Each structure stands twice: as C-alpha cells, then as structure tokens.
Amino acid sequence: MKFLDLAKVQIRSGGGGAGCVSFRREKFIEYGGPNGGDGGRGGDVWAEVVDGLNTLIDFRYQQHFFAKSGQGGMGQGRTGKDGESVVLRVPVGTEILDEDQETVIADLTEVGQRVLLAKGGNGGWGNLHFKSATNQAPRRANAGQPGVEREIWLRLKLIADAGLAGLPNAGKSTFLAATSNARPKIADYPFTTLHPNLGVVGIDGREFVMADIPGLIEGASEGRGLGDQFLGHIERCAVLLQLVDGTAVDVAEDWRVIDHELDAYSHDVAMKPRIIALNKIDALDEEERAEKKAALEAACGRPVHMISAVSGEGMQEVLRALMARIDKSKPSDEDDGPWQP
C-alpha cells in the first residue's frame, strides 16, 4: 500500500428539495384547500475516523464527494425523501484544513470521531404551510436551500509516542528495525526512507509507538532534499530521539543542522523533550568514542547516549530513557514544569 499523507478533496452537501404547490381535488370536498408537502432535506458531508487505515491513499483516486439532494414535496401533504449523506473515512491522526491549508477545521485523534464538514440544505415549505385565515388558497411554495460546496485538505499526522530525527544515513531505520517488528528499507545511500514508518517498541514488558521520518538535511525547511513535509508526523510525539552518525567527521555540526531545521519548521517541535544518541559506535575505537561524545555533549548541552543499532550496545538504556519521558508526559502525571532544552 502506498503512503499518502496529504490530499485535496472537493465536497458538496445536498440541496433541499422544493416545496410543492398542490390542492385537494376530491369530488365531494368543496374548497378542499392546499395540501402541498415540504421538500426533503439535503444530505450532509461527514468525516469519520475508522480503524485499520494508516494512509490517505484512497483520496488519490476519489477527490469528489457529493451528497444527494432532497426530493421535492408532493401532493396530499407528502414530504420529499431526504438526501443521502456522504462519509469520508479517514485514519486516526487526520487534520482537516480549509482551502488555505492553514485554518484547522478539525483534528481527529480517536477512532469513532465524527465531524460535520458541510450541512445539507433544508427542504422548502409546501403551500400547505402558507395557509391562513386570510389566505385560504396560497399558490406559492419555497425552493429548497442550496447545498454547501467547498474544497478542503486532509493531512495525516501519525499518532506516535516517540519520533526519530536525524540526517540521512544516521541509522534511524536500522534503529527502528532493531527495536520493533517494523521492516523499513535499509541501504547505504541517502534518503533510503521515502515515507514515514511506524513500529511498536517493547521494553521491560511495556510498549510504545515510534515514528521514523525521512532524513533531514541543511535547508530542509526551504524545500531542499525531501524538505520538511514529513515533520508533521512527529508533532504529536511526546519525545524525540535525535540520532547522530558516530562515523561523521563533525558530529557537533550534524546535531546543529537538525536542531536548526526543527526550529525552522516549528518552535513547538524544537522545544519537545529530546534525547540525543550517538549511533554506530561499533565502528569507533575507545578514543574516538570519548572524543566524539565530548564534542556532541558540548554542542547540545545535555547527556549523550552511546548506542549501536547493529550490535545492540546501549539500546536498552536509550529505550528506557524514552519510556520514562513518555510516562512523564502523560496528563495523569504531575506536571514538572516546561521542559528546558
């Protein structure tokens, strides 16, 4: 299944049916009076979160969702049939944006959530509604209200507890594959990962969900490389794990590049709790490990975990640190104040 996290769709609710102008025509009922029925109500357009979806790929093949219009009223006081509604079935974590791609209409984060996107028009009144003591035979009826037509954007932000960030080939996919049942593509060239991956990570009998996004490079916030289009998937994460390639020439500069791109994308994302890990230490000797760890700690100003996703060294410790940070972020826990970078 292909991954798609952004889709533009056109929706239109149904118009209301027109009211009917009709009179009683029975042979033995003199001055029968009006009996025109009301028009039916137009169908609505809804969005609903369903289980089992993790992409918006369905909206690549269908971009138009039009609800049915209501049926017109009929004689003998009969009301027209209501139009059928349309439901857009979306995965958990979908944001619905207005046409400007900035105004958030709804943020759907739980299975079963529903939101009304376009309300159907009311049906028009038949002439029976206009009968009065001074107007015994009204010959007018209302037209139904028109439906609402609009264009909206659907943007998927995956629901994950922890997110991976780093330069291409920092070892993010290898880390995810080593700690979960996810099987992302792994290769020795940049941008092997072309779309986000999710994995369920287990540690000490507990589990959390981790998201791996394509690597960032300097200038990603300006559209270089794959750009920052996938950073939305870590907006919901409680903690970020920033991996730095231990075999890089300047590990401190690698950290600064990602830190700058996160801040350029969103200050809120940059201020999320972050754990720093120096990866691929299996390729370093003791002297190189100490040198690069010291340089990285001096740049980021916090402790650095030494790990190897290939050999497994240090992996348990960093997973426990992630789990502890996730626990601390839960609303049921006491708030220990804003996190300081």
Which residues carry a binding-site annotation for GTP?
166-173, 191-195, 212-215, 279-282, 308-310
**Four-point Cα dihedral 238, 260, 230, 237, nearest 10:** 0
Tokens 């959530």 correspond to what residue?
113
* CA 6 – CA 24 distance, rounded (Å): 56
| Phi and psi at residue 279, to the nearest 5° | -95, 165
Tell me how many degrees the CA angle 33-37-43 measures, rounded to the nearest 5: 170
Task: Write out the binding residues.
Answer: 166-173, 191-195, 212-215, 279-282, 308-310
Amino acid of residue 307: I
Separation between Cα atoms, residue 163 and residue 181, nearest integer Å: 16
Dist. CA 323–CA 161, nearest whole Å: 9
Pairing of strands 94-97, 104-108: antiparallel
State the binding site for Mg(2+).
173, 193
Q: Are 42 and 14 a contacting pair, CB within 8 Å? A: yes
